[in-house]
Chain A
Amino acid sequence: METGTWRVKVGLAQMLKGGVIMDVVTPEHAKIAEEAGACAVMALERVPADIRKAGGVARMSDPSVIEAIMKAVSIPVMAKCRIGHFVEAQVLEAMGIDYIDESEVLTPADQAHHVWKHDFKVPFVCGCRNLGEALRRIGEGAAMIRTKGEAGTGDIVEAVRHMRAVQDEIRKVINMPENELMAEAKELQAPFELVAEIHKTGKLPVVNFAAGGVATPADAALMMQLGADGIFVGSGIFKSSDPEVRAKAIVKATTHYKDAKIIAEVSKNLGQAMTGEDVKQIPPDKLMAGRGW
């Protein structure tokens, strides 16, 4: 009997596919998310929109907040550690968290290195803006990837850009002759073995969700049609006027992402979406997606 194997780490992400992972800050939020059909929750002290507003250094949440959420629901619970902060990761693992998000939403703890994730039994999800970044994270042991988007904005434009970039580069790797893969690995700054694996299998070796800017059911379905395996919704639910109804609608739109009639139906009377922020109006040094190396 063996625990913490690559197969069970990647396997849990496979079980989350086609689902919606929701950011929650209280046990009550977590119960609303579970009741709405979330396939997992991300336990946080503050949603990204509030982290953005508050400024300062954003760190791992208080373990008591995370623990209260773990007790409240039976679905998997994820939590965030800072980029490179392997002790925050050790703490989360010791608490029995189901997945760690090494996240650009928090202030990075290391400007050169990410956590060496192979050392852990708990699986990690990491953000990416392109294929090279995704494969570097997988090389370090990430068992799941999410495109970054721009967290806390409610603006889907960056999520789309990052998903298209990853999918375009995958298509390119699949279609190029084998003798060009080494130069492509150099270009992508990615491990050669993983580039070769994509060329052979035609897909990423792990699950890839979309994150950062999803605010409506149509946003979720858009990301699914662009090739996401599932959806992270951060501020989009609990910063809206009616979280319960919106959460249910986003879950349904993610499942029935190709069925525009159902998306139309579930999009009715949801109340006010989160106000959001146009990514173009945010100064470059305030963008979160650039964090990560």
Chain B
Amino acid sequence: MIIGVLALQGAFAEHIELLKKLKVDAVPVRLPHQLEGLGGLIIPGGESTTITKLMANYNLTHKISELAQKSFPIFGTCAGMIVIASGVANGKIEPVGAIAIKVKRNAFGRQVDSFETELSIPVLGKKPFMGVFIRAPLIESVGKGVEVLAKLADGTIVAARQGKLLVCAFHPELTDDLRFHQYFLDIISGKR
């Protein structure tokens, strides 16, 4: 199985490296035809305005939206979560609208407010997961059929799943912890 990583802008190389550690073949995706034959797609962190504009340029928005409707597995981290959300509270972003969540961009402030914190993510086991939040978004509300996977201490939703769609507001690809990516692989294979 080959996983695609959307490589228009942002931390795509980090996801590819992490997938390699899990012994999974990963390829960068920049044009629609490169989506063919993939087992799943990761949309990385980066600038959501930049990524959505570059997606629209070469018809990737439409193609990815179509795939999501056919329950194609997609994992979005940070900007990637914004890209596949159904609604964005602030900013002129046109998301793909795949997963029934409403998100808020730059929800914690500017870069000086970026932070790391240990998260409890029950689906990944008891050991805490280090959440790296960089000018991060948050999930304001979730729709029907969306499972909340992680919250901050104050109750803010920062990770969720709907069917084969997975999102988080933080960056597992900036850590050495492989569990979040393994969870995505388990969703693809139907184990989870």
| Residues of A participating in the B interface, judged by any CB pair closer than 8 Å | 1-5, 7-8, 11-12, 14-19, 34, 36-40, 74-76, 93, 96-99, 121-123, 251-252, 255-256, 259
B140 on the A face (CB < 8 A): no
Decide if B47 touches A11 in the complex (CB within 8 Å): no
CA distance in complex: A64, B114 (Å):
24
Residue pairs across A and B with Cβ atoms less than 8 A apart, 23 shown, are A1-B116, A2-B115, A3-B115, A4-B112, A8-B116, A11-B114, A11-B174, A14-B14, A15-B47, A15-B78, A17-B10, A17-B11, A17-B46, A19-B9, A19-B47, A37-B9, A39-B10, A39-B50, A76-B47, A76-B111, A76-B135, A98-B112, A251-B50
Q: How distant is B75 from chain A, measured CB to nearest CB, in Å?
A: 17
B8 on the A face (CB < 8 A): yes
Decide if B8 touches A18 in the complex (CB within 8 Å): yes
Which residues of A are found within 8 Å of B117, using beta-carbon distances?
A: 1-2
Cβ-closest 4 pairs across A and B: A98-B111, A8-B114, A39-B47, A18-B9
Which residues of B are found within 8 Å of A75, using beta-carbon distances?
A: 47, 49-50
CA distance in complex: A252, B8 (Å):
9
Decide if A74 touches B54 in the complex (CB within 8 Å): no
Decide if B10 touches A74 in the complex (CB within 8 Å): no
CA distance in complex: A93, B113 (Å):
11
Which residues of A are found within 8 Å of B57, using beta-carbon distances?
A: 252
B 11-55 contacts with A by CB, 8 A: 11-14, 30, 45-47, 49-50, 53-54
A121 in contact with B134 given A14-B14, A40-B47, A256-B30 (CB within 8 Å): no
From B56, which residue of chain A is reached at the shortest CB distance? A37
Which residues of A are found within 8 Å of B126, using beta-carbon distances?
A: none
B 104-151 contacts with A by CB, 8 A: 105-106, 109-117, 132-135
Decide if B111 touches A12 in the complex (CB within 8 Å): yes
Decide if A11 touches B46 in the complex (CB within 8 Å): no
CA distance in complex: A99, B12 (Å):
21
